[in-house]
Amino acid sequence: MVKSIQTQFPQESFQPSYEQWQQRNVDRHNAAQGDLKGYNCPLCKNRGDFLELVNGHEIIRFCSCKAIRQSIRNIEKSGLAEMMYKQTFDSYIANEPWQHRIKSLAEQFVSNCGNGGNASWFYIGGQVGAGKTHICTAIVGELLNQGLKARYMLWRDEAVYLKANVNDDAAYAAAIKPLKSVDVLYIDDFFKTERGNKPTTGDINLAFELINHRYNNRALTTVISSEKTVEELIDIDEAIGSRIYQRSKDFNISIGRSRDKNFRFGL
């Protein structure tokens, strides 16, 4: 009997280079699932960062969701976060034709902002308690989910602070700059005053500075709710009212005043 002879060759173990080891480390990090809350980011898997190899060095890059998460934190600090969970398009009651029109225009506005079109403005004014804040909050929530940075401005609170610091250049600039430059600014209760008094000269000057800056920058989106219609704004200050009208022309809603439209009475 002839026995077969098997020749055994030593197996060479593969030793990755230092650069290959680095790349594996980078890939492993970027594939890991993170635990950041508040926004589900498909890019970084909720880690908030990426590793990159640059000239043999591992560099940390923050994900674009960092700005979105900061916007959400700003919303939370403003007290709007809880409202965003409750005040959505799905929860908006639209039994009457005027309510259907509001919801339809708001949804068109969100679609317009998300389809690469020019940033535009949404204005809704008129009857107290008619769901103006609800529909604007729903808009902001949808735009945040699209990845846009947003900021909430409750006019009667922030206007007081800004006017009080108008002579402190550093404090004033630090407070108004984010309002001027953020992707989406939501101004709630615009020109709301104590006991329904007319806006002061300080209110008008502040409003013009903010509105005019955003009016001149067509990359910025502005959402405004107010107890005043655009026509009433024009009576207060034509320069402010006409700018808002021109930029929100396709998405400008005036709700006629009637107690039947005040949700707060449970009618």
Interval 215-224: pLDDT, tens = 999 889 999 9
State how far Cα 257 lies from the chain centre.
29
Q: What is the pLDDT of residue 4?
A: 45
- 167 vs 88, 110, 155, 172, 191, CA distance in Å? 40, 38, 19, 8, 21
Q: What is the pLDDT of residue 150?
A: 86
Rounded (10°) angle between helices 132-145 and 65-78: 160
Rounded (10°) angle between helices 97-114 and 132-145: 20
Q: How confident is the model at residue 113 (pLDDT cuts 50, 70, 90)?
A: confident
Q: Select the more confidently predicted residue: 5 or 49.
A: 49
Residue 199 has pLDDT above 60, yes or no: yes
List all residues 6 or more positions away from 224 whose beta carbon is below 8 Å from its beta carbon. 121, 122, 123, 124, 125, 136, 186, 187, 190, 244, 248
Please give the Cα distance from 183 to 108 (Å, whole number). Answer: 18
Q: Which of 73-77, 87-91, 92-96, 235-239 has the lowest mean pLDDT?
A: 73-77
- For residue 181, the 8-state DSSP code is H
% of the chain with per-residue pLDDT over 70: 88
Please give the Cα distance from 49 to 250 (Å, whole number). Answer: 39
Q: What is the pLDDT of residue 5?
A: 45
| 209 Rama class: left (phi>0) / alpha (psi -120 to 50) / beta | alpha
- In the chain, where are the structural domains located? 18-63, 67-265
Please give the Cα distance from 20 to 10 (Å, whole number). Answer: 24
Mean per-residue pLDDT, 95-119: 84
List all residues 6 or more positions away from 60 whose beta carbon is below 8 Å from its beta carbon. 49, 50, 51
For the range 239-244, what are the long-range contacts, defined as Cβ-Cβ under 8 Å and sequence gap of 24 or more? Answer: 239/208, 239/212, 240/204, 240/207, 240/208, 240/211, 243/211, 243/212, 243/215, 244/121, 244/123, 244/211
Q: Kindly write down the DSSP assignment for every residue of 109-155, as one continuous string.
A: HHHHHHTTPPP-EEEEEESTTSSHHHHHHHHHHHHHHTT--EEEEEH
CATH architecture of the domain covering 67-265: 3-Layer(aba) Sandwich (3.40)
Interval 125-181: pLDDT, tens = 998 888 899 999 999 988 887 878 888 899 999 999 999 999 999 999 999 999 999
Q: What is the pLDDT of residue 207?
A: 97
Please give the Cα distance from 28 to 95 (Å, whole number). Answer: 52
Name, of 49-53, 81-85, 195-199, 244-248, the range with top average pLDDT. 244-248
- For residue 225, the 8-state DSSP code is E
Tokens representing 186 are: 């939501």
% of the chain with per-residue pLDDT over 90: 51
| 174 Rama class: left (phi>0) / alpha (psi -120 to 50) / beta | alpha
